[in-house]
Structure 1
Amino acid sequence: MEDSSRRKFLQNAGLASLVSISPLAAEPERVSELFIHHVLFYLKDPNNAQDEAKLLEGLKKLAKVPQIQYVNIGKPASTSRSVIVRDYTFSWMCFFKNIIEEELYQTHPIHDEFRKDYAHLWEKVVIYDSVGPKKVS
């Protein structure tokens, strides 16, 4: 079996196993919903350019997790309305086909390595997870 075919087979087998043991298997509508994972990172030392560069390095590595469909690494915009939160260092927003893909991301070795190697840089994270239809009519 060719290496790429074997890898694809193993990924599909892993996904099939997760679906079979997941409580989500009984909720097919949730498997078809787009999953968005949005994290705001707050550095311990927000004025430290080296820490900021290091966290950005880590986020770029994290973006290589194969389950991610789209990722955006952002900084606070210069907008200034009272309802806008601008006190974070980085915004990390990624899109997944469904919640199962996001669960695979949460346990992926790249994600585990990211937390292990970079968590010492932030004082807190705020996470917003949301689901919705893949297309809005």
Structure 2
Amino acid sequence: MKNASRRNFLITAAALTAGAAASAMPLVTMKANETAKYPVVHHVFFWLKNPSSTEDREKLIAGVKTLSKIETVRALRVGVVASTEKREVVDNSWAVSELIFFSDLEGQATYQTHPIHLEFIKNCSHLWEKVIVYDAVDV
């Protein structure tokens, strides 16, 4: 039983590490020195209430894109599940993700209470069933 717990821990740790690495991959358009300027990362995954609704997905994507207007948002990427190899460590159950970069923790805190962010939640929260947020800072 002890080995099963350790194996589950290692699988979970590997999945989180792979997810963090994969989430940075689309940023090839950003130069290395640009990402260094924005060390705070806010990565959000959304599960739709109606996962088969293209209209709901497009509404959510449009809503997420409004967040780029917040002055402390330095870079914003919006994604959908990629058609990659199916593996046990890959979670492709979500529908839309947002990846936002901030210069500092204060900028991320400003984002959380910003009227545009609150309006996004008001206008789009009816679309999602579940949300998971991963916040990280460069080390």
**Does residue 1:54 correspond to 2:49, yes or no?**
no
Local SS of the residue matching 1:63: helix
**Which residue number in structure 1 is paired with residue 95 of structure 2?**
89
Contact 2:45 2:96 in 1 (8 A): yes
What percentage of residue pairs aligned between the two structures are identical? 41
1:66 CA displacement:
1.4
Residue-pair matches, total: 102
TM-score by length of 2: 0.69
Question: Between Structure 1 and Structure 2, whose CA radius of gyration is higher?
Answer: 1
Instruction: Return the match for 1:67 from 67, 72, 75.
Output: 72
**Which residue number in structure 2 is paired with residue 39 of structure 1?**
44
TM-score by length of 1: 0.70
**Which residue number in structure 2 is paired with residue 110 of structure 1?**
116
What RMSD over aligned residues (CA atoms) do the two structures have, in Å? 1.5
1:4-19 correspondence runs (5 A):
none
Contact 1:33 1:99 in 2 (8 A): no
Runs of 4 or more, structure 1, over 4 Å off, are none
Q: Which runs of 5+ in 1 are unaligned?
A: 1-31
**Which residue number in structure 1 is paired with residue 104 of structure 2?**
98
Q: Which residue identity lines up with residue 123 of structure 1 in the other structure?
A: E
Contact 1:42 1:123 in 2 (8 A): yes
1:61 CA displacement:
1.0
